[in-house]
Structure formats: C-alpha cells, structure tokens
Amino acid sequence: MFEFAPEIIALLFAAAVLAGFIDAIAGGGGLITVPALLAAGVPPVAAIATNKIQSSFGTAAATYTFWRKGRIDFALLKWPLIATAVGAALGAFTVTFVDASWLMVLLPILLAGIAVYFLVGPKASDEDVHARLTPFAFGAVAGGIGFYDGFFGPGTGSFFALALVTLLGMGLTRATAHTKALNLASNVVSVAVFAIGGHVLWLVGLMMAVGQVIGGWLGSHAAMRFGPKLIRPLLVVICLAMVAKLLSDPANPLRVWLLGLI
C-alpha cells in the first residue's frame, strides 16, 4: 500500500493534466507521468501499469471530444481497431517472455526519423489526399503498432499519426483524431493485462485519470482549433524529447555505442 503526501498527489495530478493535453495532440504524455510516478517512489512495473490506466481515461476523453465534433469515422476504423486490439494483446503477452532491450536501440532512431519527416518532409496539411492502403490493409499496420504499444509503448501516438497521414491520406487534424481512437483500443487491452497481473495502483491511477481527462479535453479542443500549425511542431518536439529521454539513460545500448565512437 502506497501513501502519498498531499504535495506529491498535487504534483501527480498536475503532471496528468499536462500529459493529457500533450497526448491529445501529439502523444508522448508518458514522458511526463511515468517519471513523475517513479519520482514518487512507485516501482517501475507499477508505474507503467498505473500510467496505462490513467492515460486510458485521457485518451478516452480526447476520443469522445473528437467523435462528438464529427472528426472520427468509426466505420472506416473497424478493421484497424480490431487489429490494434489484437496486436496490443499479443504484445502485452509477449513482453513477459522476450528481452525488449533491443528496442532501446531501434526506438530513438525511429522517433528521430518521424521528427525529421514532419520537420522537413512534405507539409502535412488538413487536406485529405489519396490513400495508399485500404482500411482493411491498413489493419496490418495498425496491428503492428498495437503490438508495439502492448510490448513497450513510448511514441505510439506518433507512429499512428505518421501512418494515418502517409498511408490512409488523412489530413493532420483528422489523423490526430483517429490516432486517439486507435490508441484507446491498445490502452484498454494493456490495462486489462496489467490489471490481471495486479500491477495497477488504482487510487493514484484514478486520481491522475481525472487530470488526464481535463488535459485530454483541453488538448483535443486546441488541436481542432489550431490544426497543423500546432500539431506539426508539437509532434516534432515530442519525438525529439522522447529521443533525448531514451538516450539520457546511461545503460541505453545506442548511447553506449555512440559514446564509444567519440
């Protein structure tokens, strides 16, 4: 049983509000909430599990807001949502048997690539373009990203946004809205797996969930109001922040290799 001082509870709540706002627009709110939980003395597995439960509420709030404004086409997402949920379940199951350390090498490279794409690549506007894949075929991509989210997690929102823009031809705000629905599916499945394992700190998770809902509501409205001029730079910043966070770990194999070259 964990007991937190009032000031720690207030900081965790504030972290959840900020993370919910960022998650609703670009993803990556876990960069704020997971370190906050760890700093509060929560063990790593419980921190990740508790982060999933509170982030699920924030993602649900953002998804609901986008849906109410007519920004999400659930008929279009039928197969991608199913594939995402299945992928997340398989990923969460697999992570208990497989060493995930290799992801610490691959993930910073992928996130840096996404940042470069949105920074110097073709300008992502709010105009839809011709889709390269059918929704059914896109399900394979969504399932892969869902597997990654269940297996590890950081950067999932950025991966979904990039895939929806480049493969389904969505405008950036529409892609952001549909990202929330897909991310919600993978989050709910991950929460179920962690809950069965008894890793979730429910009281602190639900308290932070209130903050996530507030932040998600504010972020989704900001995304719809300001569109690509807000989403695009925030995606770049969040991706680069995640790269910096991952490489700040002295044990990261990619960091060790890069320092060995210097």
Q: How confident is the model at residue 120 (pLDDT cuts 50, 70, 90)?
A: confident
Helical axes 228-247 vs 253-261, angle rounded to 10°? 80
- What pLDDT, on a 0 to 100 scale, did the predictor assign at position 139? 97
Tell me which residue has tokens 């419980």.
46
Helices (H), 69-168: 78-94, 103-120, 135-151, 156-167
Tell me which residue has tokens 């490489």.
247
CA 66 to chain centre: 16
- DSSP SS3 for 61: helix
Tokens of 109: 């490279």
Q: Which amino acid is at 57?
A: F
Q: pLDDT digit string (tens) for 170-219?
A: 998 899 999 999 999 999 998 898 888 888 899 999 999 999 999 989 98
Q: Half-sphere exposure of residue 257, counting CA atoms within 13 Å on the CB side?
A: 7
